[in-house]
């Protein structure tokens, strides 16, 4: 058989049996890509490939020659962070970074070749959302004296939500990671029941509790309003 034909045949076979397992992981963690296999043939030739879109960079090459196992990690970038388990074919990646997202492909060659594919997404831990009183920023009318605004630095698949007790009352997300996310607590007269603002991505979350006393009925806040009232009053007198 012509080598090109062999290659074509092989690729038809490998794409036919391919089912992609999706993993979502937290940046900095040690991640093991489990295969679910328990007894890989001891003389199998095991290969792992990686790529952001297509797994075309060889990162593990493990073969048995004359009874001796030789496991090589050819990729400079991954070398010191990889560990192959020859019993299961599983691959452990230490200190995974956001740049390590993409497709990981395992090839086990014995009498036949088997292929497994994994799609790995890496997320940064979300930051704690910040609650400010939006009213301070704009010209303050008394009715709008308290309008909590929650915000957080945006990131991949991040959402920002307000909860009243355990119920989610509003939520926002944006695919534009460069823009900070803002979500007002859309309540005209928030009472003292528990409001929390939660920022979450698929692997982590952070919660900030709203303290209405602190945010809206602060002693400084009061002074501010009294002061405004006084100014308003003086303007009226002037008129
Ligand atoms: C390798 O995988 C096998 C099967 O999953 C497991 O029993 C064994 O503990 C693993 N070895 C190491 C060093 O993690
Ligand atoms: C983990 O990787 C980051 C870069 O991605 C590096 O700055 C950091 O020092 C590494 N941490 C450890 C414990 O190796
Ligand atoms: C806030 O509530 C008002 C009325 O309840 C509604 O018209 C407005 O669209 C809401 N705004 C947001 C951002 O949810
Ligand atoms: C706060 O509001 C919720 C619903 O809006 C209500 O169930 C609860 O009784 C209120 N609590 C107080 C102290 O007013
Ligand atoms: C809210 O803030 C006030 C003023 O800083 C503080 O005295 C109070 O303990 C806080 N309440 C909660 C539930 O954290
Ligand atoms: C509440 O008061 C404290 C100190 O009195 C101040 O540091 C804080 O900024 C005030 N918060 C608001 C929302 O005005």
Q: Of the residues 102, 123, 144, which one is the last residue of a structural domain? A: 123
Residues 168 and 215 in one domain: yes
CATH code of the domain covering residue 72: 2.60.40.10
Question: Are both 114 and 135 inside the same structural domain?
Answer: no
Say whether both 114 and 136 belong to one domain. no
Per-residue pLDDT of 211-227, as tens digits, reads: 887 787 754 444 444 44
CA distances to 48, 101, 213 from 59, in Å: 6, 14, 56
> Which of 212, 145, 149, 141 is closest to 185 using CA atoms?
149
Say whether both 95 and 139 belong to one domain.
no
**d(Cα 25, Cα 89) in Å, to the nearest integer?**
20
Q: Cβ of 175: how many Cβ atoms within 10 Å?
A: 9
Provide the percentage of residues in the chain whose pLDDT is more than 90: 60
- Mean pLDDT over each residue of the chain, to the nearest integer: 83
Digit-coded pLDDT (tens) for 102-119? 999 999 999 999 999 999
Whether residues 78 and 159 share a domain: the answer is no
CB 57 within 8 A of CB 50: yes
Spatial CB neighbours of 211, under 8 Å, sequence gap ≥ 6: none
What is the model's pLDDT at position 221? 44
Same domain, 157 and 202: yes
93 has a pLDDT exceeding 60: yes
160-173 burial, b at 16+ Cβ within 10 Å, e below that, comes to: bbbbbeeeeebeee
Given 107, 123, 139, the domain boundary residue is 123
- SS3 letters for the chain? CCHHHHHHHHHHHHHHCCCEEEEEEECCCCEEECCCCCCCCCCCEEEEEEECCCCCEEEEEEEEECCEEEEECCCCCCHHHEEECCCCCCEEECCCCHHHCEEEEEEEECCCEEEEEEEEEEECCCCCCEEEEHHHCCCCCHHHCCCEEEEECCCCCCEEEEEECCEEEEEEECCCCCCCEEEECCCCCCCCCCEEEEEEECCEEEEEECCHHHHHCCHHHHHHHHHHHHHHHHHHHHC
Q: What atom of ligand 5 comes closest to residue 212's alpha carbon?
A: 1
Q: Are residues 110 and 135 in the same domain?
A: no
Q: Are residues 8 and 80 both part of a single domain?
A: yes
Same domain, 159 and 206: yes
Q: Which ligand is nearest to the CA of 96?
A: 2
2-9 LR contacts (CB < 8 Å, sep 24+): none
Residue 11 has pLDDT above 80, yes or no: no
**CA distance linking residue 170 with residue 190, whole number of Å:** 14
Given pLDDT bands bounded at 50, 70 and 90, which one contains residue 48?
Answer: very high
Give the pLDDT score at 226: 42
Task: Give the total number of structural domains in the chain.
Answer: 2
Tens digits of residue pLDDT in 194-207: 899 999 999 999 99
Same domain, 136 and 107: no
Note the pLDDT tens digit of each residue in 123-178: 999 999 999 988 754 444 444 567 889 999 999 999 999 999 899 999 999 887 78
Query: How many angstroms is it from 125 CA to the middle of ligand 1?
Result: 29
Is 153 found in the same domain as 99?
A: no
Domain identity same for 99 and 142: no
Which among 148, 194, 210, 211 is the best mutation to test ligand 5's pocket, defined by most ligand atoms within 8 Å of the CB?
Answer: 211
Query: Which distant-in-sequence residues (6+ apart) come within 8 Å of 181 by Cβ?
Result: 151, 152, 153, 154, 158, 160, 172, 173, 174, 199
pTM above the 0.75 mark? no
Domain that holds residue 102: 3-123
Last residue of a domain, one of 73, 105, 123: 123
Q: Is the CB of 186 under 6 A from ligand 3?
A: yes
The finding on whether 97 has its CB within 6 A of some atom of ligand 2 is yes
Higher pLDDT, 70 or 174: 70
């Amino acid at each position: 058989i012509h080598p090109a034909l062999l290659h074509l045949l092989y690729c038809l076979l490998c794409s036919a049996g391919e089912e992609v397992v999706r993993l979502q992981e937290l940046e900095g963690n040690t991640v093991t890509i489990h295969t679910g296999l328990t007894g890989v043939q001891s003389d199998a030739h095991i290969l792992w490939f990686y790529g952001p879109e297509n797994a075309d960079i060889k990162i593990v090459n493990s073969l048995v020659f004359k009874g001796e196992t030789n496991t090589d990690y050819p990729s400079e970038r991954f070398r010191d962070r990889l560990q192959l388990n020859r019993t299961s074919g599983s691959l452990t990646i230490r200190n995974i970074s956001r740049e390590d997202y993409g497709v990981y492909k395992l090839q086990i060659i014995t009498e036949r070749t088997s292929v497994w594919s994994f799609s790995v997404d890496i997320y940064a831990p979300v930051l704690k959302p910040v609650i400010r009183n939006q009213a301070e920023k704009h010209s303050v009318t008394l009715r709008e004296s308290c309008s909590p605004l929650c915000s957080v630095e945006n990131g991949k698949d991040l959402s920002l939500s307000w909860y009243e007790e355990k119920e989610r009352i509003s939520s926002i997300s944006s695919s534009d990671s460069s823009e900070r996310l803002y979500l007002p607590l859309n309540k005209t007269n928030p009472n003292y029941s528990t409001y929390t603002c939660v920022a979450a991505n698929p692997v982590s979350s952070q919660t900030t509790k709203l303290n209405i006393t602190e945010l809206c009925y602060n002693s400084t806040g009061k002074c501010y309003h009294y002061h405004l009232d006084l100014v308003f009053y003086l303007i009226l007198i002037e008129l």
